[in-house]
Structure 1
């Protein structure tokens, strides 16, 4: 069980997938002229039938046909339904991850602004380097989050419908409808994009999605790893916020383990393997329908989506409750001044040698304001996000 999996409940589990496939079949039936209204009905698929078919679509189609009179599934193939259903799940996943990244971004922007002058020791290759500020460190974390949001937005806007029929020619659909018009209408019904042709063996839509999620976990992983290092008791510069019942030990009851940081770090270590699996499957998408590569893709994609949802939610909670001990940072920097200021030929005040740290913080906060409303206490005059008179709230 993935620790924190409850945070992704209902997004990528079997029930969610069946419901998404059902939405796909209903949308296509309507394109074919069959009015379908199934309400909240969701079939329970027999695992033996799923195994016998090699995928869950055939049992689903049989269940739908038992409920509906008229054309159902005509012109589609199993891959059309399952690929499109996974894109519907991805849309919800991307929305959830982006919402939690927005929380992370807001928390990091606050920390960057509050600690723009909080001097700390810079470290390279585990050793003291030159002085930085914690505000600069938080701003660097924020850049990763903002980049991830940009990528997730781009992927979300271009999630494609799959519509190709048995071998990607829409040959059966052509006997009952105008196939290209039907594919475009199919996409419109589902709120997806018709890319102009099927992508049965061109898996870039999946690898692009996977890459964006992996890079999101990368960005969160850097932050979590830094928090774990700076939170070691012999360093003590940051600490996870205290939450009753979290971080306990089965053998050492006095401990308060940094559980959220550990789990986000764990997600960052797992995500690249899911991404690599998707690329491996993409490279083996042979013929007009792969003999196993497509099948190996589903669990990797669903696993990666669940991992990213959970990690983003945990990271939001982590950053919103992070305790920053600026006094400890300042004392350590002062005590290590000889090492920290060696580049400048020595000195006694690390705060006098911060270079462009504050300017870099300002630049990241300016970028942040293009997505989020300005934070109170920022040093610059806030730039409005919406035009005067608009009633939008920065969504």
Structure 2
């Protein structure tokens, strides 16, 4: 895919693309057809390899507005290319939402795998930076102004803590992504009729989960917490990366000069510029992720009856956009933290030039009557240790 409106979109590759979505829907139909045959419900000659061609995505898209989703158009194409026995049994017992929701979840799984890889790289890079700069003196700022002495290690450890907060839940989310099989109104009525009993119908659903490597689940067609949990996880990642990129962009200003990107961007008219482009693009994703996540929550809240009239439909493009933007931001953040340059001497100079930094320390000493400690960084080093310990556990578990 290419997207001139979103520089870097190519870094997401085929993830959540039309081609990936179409392939996932076909995979669901293929798996279900095989399950019906294996269960003895459909005859052996109904089994066939379902395929699509390069132009099918456009054909499906052009006909999707007839029924309001792409599944009906896809099923029509697949049936038209199949032998009569295959066409007769294809999609039987499923409804469009089963195929679409399960296909979306398959696509999301690939997204979460990619983001997990990027997060692991970020944790390793940030842990190394925090260790190397744990004692590097630096100025801490609050509300844009000089505040107290601190260390660059403490700042980087906070970045790392945020990335870990985002990364740790991803593995559990990825392994619990559920299949969606409910039939027309979520009661498995058609599957029960085909299989002969409720237990056998549920067994068909579980078999589909196994074939497409998702978790077995009861129908969640009107309970959209599965989608909002995915959205929240993606937004949390973008939040963490946005914090890092904002600090780097601010720290790279010439008047600050403590941080810089390993390879900045240029200007079409100003050759002297070395723009923090990675930080800019990450911040863009962080700014837009929250509203996309909020749209998923609004759609969930608007769920009605046994299939929503617009709320369900609002999820698809929203989730795709959020997912691809998050993958791009993940790649940019990995590049940013792995190549980040830190100017220790500039950090020390900015700290030395700030006035009044020890006023709080003096007031504390006056209250206690004790001699002031040699530095005023409190538990910063202990905090770095705690975050590094957490990072080591994460890296070990990720292997």
Q: Is TM > 0.5 for Structure 1 vs Structure 2?
A: yes
In structure 1, which of residues 48, 52, 56 is the aligned counterpart of residue 66 of structure 2? 52
Alignment correspondent of 1:203: 224
Q: Answer whether contact 1:24 1:84 (CA < 8 A) is retained.
A: yes
Q: How does 1:163-312 map to 2 (within 5 A)?
A: 163-177=181-195, 178-195=200-217, 197-242=218-263, 247-312=265-330
Q: How does 1:75-224 map to 2 (within 5 A)?
A: 75-177=93-195, 178-195=200-217, 197-224=218-245
Alignment correspondent of 2:393: 370
Alignment correspondent of 2:10: 6
After TM superposition, the structure 1 stretch with the greater mean CA deviation from structure 2, 351-360 or 53-62, is 351-360
Q: Answer whether contact 1:340 1:350 (CA < 8 A) is retained.
A: no
**How far is 1:35 from its partner?**
3.2
Relative distance call for 1:350 and 1:206 in structure 2 (3 A) is: farther
SS of residue paired to 2:189: coil
Paired with 2:131 and 2:203, the residues of 1 have a C-alpha distance of 52
Paired with 1:277 and 1:117, the residues of 2 have a C-alpha distance of 43
**How far is 1:269 from its partner?**
0.2
Alignment correspondent of 1:35: 47
Higher helix content, 1 or 2: 2
Paired with 2:357 and 2:177, the residues of 1 have a C-alpha distance of 49
Alignment correspondent of 1:361: 384
**How far is 1:335 from its partner?**
2.2
Relative distance call for 1:63 and 1:45 in structure 2 (3 A) is: farther
Alignment correspondent of 1:325: 343
Paired with 2:252 and 2:339, the residues of 1 have a C-alpha distance of 14
**How far is 1:332 from its partner?**
1.3
Q: Answer whether contact 2:28 2:102 (CA < 8 A) is retained.
A: yes
Alignment correspondent of 2:75: 61
Query: Please, what TM-score do these two structures have when normalized by structure 2?
Result: 0.89
Query: Please, what TM-score do these two structures have when normalized by structure 1?
Result: 0.90
Alignment correspondent of 1:379: none
Alignment correspondent of 1:335: 353
Paired with 1:72 and 1:40, the residues of 2 have a C-alpha distance of 15
Paired with 1:16 and 1:340, the residues of 2 have a C-alpha distance of 56
**How far is 1:170 from its partner?**
1.1
1:19 aligns with 2:23: yes
Structure 2: gaps spanning 5 or more residues:
38-45, 366-371
Paired with 2:292 and 2:240, the residues of 1 have a C-alpha distance of 16
Paired with 2:74 and 2:67, the residues of 1 have a C-alpha distance of 11
**How far is 1:128 from its partner?**
1.4
Paired with 2:154 and 2:304, the residues of 1 have a C-alpha distance of 48
SS of residue paired to 2:388: helix
Structure 1: gaps spanning 5 or more residues:
374-384, 386-393
Paired with 1:44 and 1:206, the residues of 2 have a C-alpha distance of 24
Paired with 1:270 and 1:288, the residues of 2 have a C-alpha distance of 31
Paired with 2:298 and 2:395, the residues of 1 have a C-alpha distance of 37
Cα RMSD, aligned residues only: 1.8
Paired with 2:128 and 2:203, the residues of 1 have a C-alpha distance of 49
Paired with 1:200 and 1:171, the residues of 2 have a C-alpha distance of 14
Aligned residue pairs, count: 370
**How far is 1:18 from its partner?**
0.4
Q: Answer whether contact 2:26 2:50 (CA < 8 A) is retained.
A: no
After TM superposition, the structure 1 stretch with the greater mean CA deviation from structure 2, 206-215 or 54-63, is 54-63
Q: Answer whether contact 1:132 1:354 (CA < 8 A) is retained.
A: yes
